[in-house]
Amino acid sequence: MSETSDIAEQPSPAAPPDLPAVAAPDLAARAKAVERLDALAVPAGSLGVLADLGLWLTSLQGVCPPRPPARARVVVVAADHGIAAAGVSAYSSEVTALQVAATLEQAAPVAVTATVAGASVRVIDAGLDRDAVLPGQERYRVRRGSGRIDREDALTAAEVETAIRIGRALADEEVDSGADLLVPASLGVGATTAASTLVAAVTGAEPVAVVGRGSGIGDDAWMRKAAAIRDALRRGKPHLRDPRALLRTIGGADLAVLTGFLVQASLRRTPVLLDGLVVGAAALLADDLAPGAHQWWLAAQQSPEPAMALILQHLQLVPVLDLQVRLGDGTGAVAVLPLVQAAAKLLGETAAAESSGITPVRAVTG
């Protein structure tokens, strides 16, 4: 991971008229953290990426030393995609509901990893292809499944606005309840096909440059996925500069909810760990809707999905680790969370050189 200061120091462009401007991280607090880091009883530069993480957290919290995140929250947004019918996944669309059940039963990878990191996990049904929704979640439901994007729109214009509003409300709920770091995540068969199409649309990449293995597909499914992305991208091309129209034509309920969630998290000045292709695609659109939002995000780990590399390059984010985790449920981000917590404690509790007497030998001159 490289220094995040170059990103943090960029002023935020004006936001669209329906959103307030995204505040920049606190550079004064970061400067204090740099001074504190330089005064620690460790060799200069010896903390490496851990120092970068501490500085990143300081600038977002606006306090030095930073507080270790104690109430990290994973919000998993689940939805089905009509494009799954094109044979682009190793699983049938019914599997999404089973993945949701496993997560709720704390048997899915993200739930298991969260117990180690001290994070809590919340699952939202934004668009499962079933009548029943999770108890008490009717207000988060956008629709039943999303349209097959190679042939029809994923959502209506009204559903896009509803989904973005739901995502923003979810972020508000988490921050208002005390969450001090957010991990947006996704579950949905076919979701990486929609996400890859959005990445190609925003970055200008060719379809073959964004097609990954997703759920672990073989070569035949890979070719079907490439064809689906090609056809969907053709439908989305008239809307390349309109994030809402892209979500309508080639997105999905989960992608639109996650876009709103990421927008609001940045407006609420809350650190976010990014992980997974679907979340990454939503991040591209969120940063378009709320310019400068990316300053509040940290890329947790390098995904083997080729589209994810394009996302990180576009957002000027460098992943902390190279875990090669392809899951979209937030597992990679939760695995990185203890490093962020450790970085905060190192900056706050490591002895200072002056008080400990641990100082380098001064050069003798003359």
CATH topology of domain 5-68+344-356: 1.10.1610
Cα within 13 Å of Cα(152), Cβ side: 12
User: Domains of the chain: which residue ranges?
Assistant: 5-68+344-356, 72-338
The CA distance from 29 to 27, in Å, is 5
* CA angle (161 as vertex; 156, 162 as ends), nearest 5: 90
Per-residue pLDDT of the chain (366 residues; tens, 9 = 90+): 433 333 333 344 444 557 889 999 999 999 999 999 999 989 888 999 999 999 999 999 999 999 999 999 999 999 999 999 999 998 888 999 999 999 999 999 999 999 999 999 999 999 999 987 788 889 999 999 999 999 999 999 999 999 999 999 999 999 999 999 999 999 999 999 999 999 999 999 999 999 988 878 899 999 999 999 999 999 999 999 999 999 999 999 999 999 999 999 999 999 999 999 999 999 999 999 999 999 999 999 999 999 999 999 999 999 999 999 999 999 999 999 999 999 999 999 998 877 766 666 565 454
The residues near 156 (Cβ < 8 Å, ≥ 6 apart) are: 248
- The structure tokens 């851990």 sit at 50
CATH topology of domain 72-338: Rossmann fold (3.40.50)
Query: Residue 185: what are its φ and ψ, rounded to 5°?
Result: -150, 175
Which pTM was predicted?
0.92
